[in-house]
Chains A and B, each alone.
Chain A
Amino acid sequence: EAEVAQSPRYKITEKSQAVAFWCDPISGHATLYWYRQILGQGPELLVQFQDESVVDDSQLPKDRFSAERLKGVDSTLKIQPAELGDSAMYLCASSLAVDRKKYFGAGTRLSVL
């Protein structure tokens, strides 16, 4: 079965450094989501793409976070500069359409020291 790919699996960085995460959705999936999951909490949506367009980025801290999905396929989430509070699991999910089943990637665990 096809899976959502994410890399890296783990990332350790120092405060004020820049980090980037990559997500490759299942082929053909038009909708792509980035979620952040802080330890002990449920995932929280950061940004949603429909093809290459941002549909919802209301919870994205835009002063330091950016996301792009050029060509409407894979996506990159960037944090610059990283802060201690950014330590979390970053999950990517994709679906054929907004009302279809969502498939989650394994996530990138970020630790900011």
Chain B
Amino acid sequence: AQRVTQPEKLLSVFKGAPVELKCNYSYSGSPELFWYVQYSRQRLQLLLRHISRESIKGFTADLNKGETSFHLKKPFAQEEDSAMYYCALSGSSNTGKLIFGQGTTLQVKP
């Protein structure tokens, strides 16, 4: 079964601390993995995708096929990073359908 698991509902850190939002997936194939973010009172938007292998707003994520994980990391959290983060996968069916995890709220305290 296709599934995305985000084990933490809430992650609270202090400004300047490192952040790691965990994401594990279950998929029998080669999925494409994404991180989406929703800031307060804003729309859900794409943060990054694994095939781009880029850093957005200081965030990076590496796909680990052996551990079926796609954790989101940032070395130094900023208050403006406080938001809801969703991990999602798109399978190889070429429909573009996204399967989302339950989301993790990141709270960065001053």
Contacts and interface: CB of A to CB of B under 8 A. Distances in A.
The size class of the interface chain B forms with chain A is: 10 to 19
Contacts, number: 50
Grouping DSSP codes into helix (H, G, I), strand (E, B) and loop, the A interface class, with mixed when no group exceeds half, is: loop
A41 B102 contact: yes
Interface in A25-64: 31, 33, 40-45, 48, 55-56
A102 B100 contact: no
With most chain A CB atoms within 10 A of its CB, the pick from B46, B96, B102 is B96
Interface of B: 4, 9, 43-46, 86, 88, 94-103
Q: Top 9 A-B pairs ranked by shortest CB distance?
A: A42-B100, A98-B96, A104-B44, A104-B43, A43-B100, A42-B102, A42-B101, A42-B86, A45-B97
Interface of A: 3, 31, 33, 40-45, 48, 55-56, 91, 95, 97-107
